[in-house]
Structure 1
Amino acid sequence: MPHITVPHQRPGIRGLMASKPSSGRALSELAEQLLRGESPLTAGERELIAAFVSARNETRYCTGSHSAAAAHTLSGGDYTVVDAVKRDLATAPVSEKMRALLELAGRVQISGLAVTDEHIAAAHAAGADDETIHDTVLIASAFCMFNRYVDGLAAITPDDPAVYDEIGESLAAKGYLP
């Protein structure tokens, strides 16, 4: 049960944003920019970062919806890579560059201060440029905020995985603007 009144009992962050439309619009625009705007990272790679950080934060709604968006964006709805990344990044079938970026995102999820020169050097060595590193850190940071927003107000969190698959498919096709 949400800690605040949620219009129309909408699940997840959409319900929370509907309770305060001006903030909701700004958050939607931020998500659209981060996950669909210009970046050297593909939309699927950015969704994978969002899913990874959300899983580490144990935010069920964001993990479900962004895992589905990543699966639909990366591989037409196949969850193999997404599930492997969440289960064990060290053995997941991703490029060394993506592994280094996800490790960097994981450091951000712990604390911005957990990111060291060595983590940045590892991302550079794996082929990431400064813009890619910037975008990775910003996405990871923003998803820590989104995760805390969703969990801090106890957003409606469906149990049915099919709901998340539908949300993810819609996000992959239409993006984040209402």
Structure 2
Amino acid sequence: MAHIDLGVDEKEFPGVRGPLKYRPVTGKPMLELAETLLRGPLSLPTADRELIAAYVSGRNECTYCCSAHSAFAAALLDEGMTLVEQVRADLDNAPVSAKLRALLHIAGAVQHSGRSVTPELVGAARAEGATDEEIHDTVLIAAAFCMVNRYVDGLGTFAPSDPEYYDETARRVISVGYRNTV
């Protein structure tokens, strides 16, 4: 049970969905941010952006966000959940492009502390072909998910244990976007 009464059935509105519904004044801009960062017209592919969200959420041990964004990334990747799990378990040996690996290292640094992003990490990403825009967007996605992870876990929201819940949510988000998920 959440730490505060969100006024919703936590099984119907688990994870971030409960707090977003509880406070529409903050929920609406958060959904807009998620829509922009993960589905909007940015240079990184949507699957890569979802993978960044899953990776950071996993490092933050946020069960709901990690499960949700892992499912979203898996639904968009040809390699599916196998690749998501490989990235989360062993980034350095996961079969992703060198550019994506370098961007995920930046995301991991952001998860630790924004000050952990070093000129060397940025230089390594640039050397693999990452643009300044892609580096910017990676940092912003990672930072935003640190905030959301702490929001979800700080309120003690419910995280379903059934992977089918996240697969169904992934289908809905891919179909209608984030704005229409609460």
Q: Counting helix residues as a fraction of each chain, which structure ranks higher?
A: 1
Stretches of structure 2 that go unaligned for 5 or more consecutive residues are none
Residue 51 of structure 2: which of 48, 52, 58 is its match? 48
TM-score, normalising length: structure 1? 0.96
* Deviation sequence 1:75-129 (CA, Å, 0-9, x none): 3x82111110001001111000000000010000000000110010000001001
TM-score, normalising length: structure 2? 0.94
> How many Å separate the matches in 1 of 2:175 and 2:86?
23
Q: Percent identity of the aligned residues? A: 53
The amino acid that maps onto 1:36 is: R
Once the two structures are overlaid, the 10-residue window that deviates more, 125-134 or 159-168, is: 159-168
Query: RMSD over aligned Cα, in angstroms?
Result: 1.0
Q: 1:134 corresponds to which residue?
A: 136
Query: CA contact under 8 A between 1:49 and 1:139: conserved in structure 2?
Result: yes
* Deviation sequence 1:24-61 (CA, Å, 0-9, x none): 11100000010011111011000000000000000000
Q: Give 1:161 deviation, angstroms.
A: 1.3
Q: 1:24 corresponds to which residue?
A: 27
Q: Give 1:172 deviation, angstroms.
A: 2.2
Q: 1:5 corresponds to which residue?
A: 5
Query: CA contact under 8 A between 1:11 and 1:158: conserved in structure 2?
Result: yes
> How many Å separate the matches in 1 of 2:175 and 2:111?
27
Residues 1:158 and 2:177 aligned together: no
> How many Å separate the matches in 1 of 2:67 and 2:112?
20
Task: State the aligned residue count.
Answer: 177
Q: 1:171 corresponds to which residue?
A: 173
The amino acid that maps onto 1:82 is: V
Q: 2:124 corresponds to which residue?
A: 122
- Secondary structure of the residue aligned to 2:157 is coil
> How many Å separate the matches in 2 of 1:69 and 1:140?
16
The amino acid that maps onto 1:74 is: L
Stretches of structure 1 that go unaligned for 5 or more consecutive residues are none
